[in-house]
Amino acid sequence: MPYRFTRREFAFVYFNSEGMHRPVAFGSKKEVDSFLNNKTPLHSYYSTAYYSNPEAPMAEKEWLGADLVFDLDADHIPGSEELNYVEQLEKVKEKCLLLIHDFLMDDFGFSEDDMEIFFSGHRGYHVHVRDDDILGLSSQARREIVDHITGIGLDLEVILPSQRIKVGEFQDRDITKESPELPPEDEGGWRRKTRRLTEELLKRWSSMKKEKVVEEMKEKHGIGTKTAEGLYEDLYGEGKWKKILDEGKLNIFSEDERMVNVKSFKKIIKGVLKEENVQEIGSQIIGATDEPVTGDTKRLIRLPYSIHGGSFLVVRGLSINEMERFDPLDDALPKFLTDKKYNIEFETLPEIERIKIKNVWFDIEKKMEIPEFAAPFMISKLGAKLL
């Protein structure tokens, strides 16, 4: 049962009926068992919020607080329309693990004990954060968390510390200009991400041929050919990229090109924060998360361990370690489905040509004989009809 379920609102959608039955509240697990056995709902939901009177109309419920919830859906990941269902499941799993490790644990300091992770039963994951410090957060405060994850309002001038470096002399006086440094290794949040991503880029470039690196500098970061070649020589011809990693300082470039290369390198760091990086991934997480879910303090979400009526897969609870090897088309199949054979037919063949369900590979054909454990999924998700 969900934590403090007697303080939650429940809601249900039934077979062959329109609309949602709500609000529903339960005083005991026995009541829940009896209700589900008698009603057999197609879709089951419960509130992320806690109420004094969960069965009352919304104006009379008396809100007590709410879990912080992230609802990641593969359908909202950019480019997901080009992926089949199985590929979407893999992609959204990557985003979920990134959300958990890079943001919830690293940035906000939550532990695995503070979180509950569920496969949504369809094509995504739900992450519930339950902690006294976030229970009473307003919608605006929760949106601030969303803004952090998506990198809204990131200012590189704030993220990168700076140093003044000598670029010349005039009348026995040093001419200095401000140059960025990489954030210290013990920094957190976006500063840590900036340093790590810059280090990863420098290491990746160190294993590439010069022409490929120069080409990437030009195409991805808008740096001219001559500057890109000079920057490459400074970084890799003389091995100064290692000094950047060791000391985090950009005061390592040739005297005559110093500010040009420092300025160009800063442009590269800006590029690092935009391409195939945490900021873009953060945007995809929240794109995948359906932002209103996280900001909503009174949201309904799928009931754990119920069966999703659109896929007939179970809303399964998972640990972080289990996620790595979790296969929804095996681990989220209802256990009561048997090997009994059924005949199905596709009016239109789905895009996916072959699929593995419960460790059995099926080649999709116009007419098929399949075991019961594969039938509900193929009917609900792939468009088959039962003969």
Helix (H) or strand (E) holding 93: helix 85-98
71, 102, 234, 296: which is the annotated catalytic residue? 71
How far is residue 6's CA from residue 346's CA, in Å, rounded to a whole number? 44
How far is residue 67's CA from residue 295's CA, in Å, rounded to a whole number?
A: 11
DSSP E strand boundaries for the chain:
10-13, 21-24, 43-47, 49-51, 63-66, 68-73, 115-119, 124-129, 162-170, 173-180, 300-302, 317-318, 341-346, 354-357, 360-363, 367-371, 384-386
Residue recorded with tokens 């399949």: 370
SS3 content of the chain, % helix, strand, coil (to 5): 45, 20, 35
Q: Is 290 a catalytic residue?
A: yes
CA proximity to 273, closest of 201, 166, 210: 201
Beta bridge partners of 363: 354
Write down the catalytic residue from 67, 73, 114, 234.
Answer: 73
Q: Which residues contact 171 (CB under 8 A, 6 or more apart)?
A: none
Active-site residue among 131, 147, 290, 331? 290
H helix intervals, 151-277: 156-159, 189-206, 210-221, 225-232, 241-247, 258-272
User: Mind telling me the catalytic residues?
Assistant: 71, 73, 290
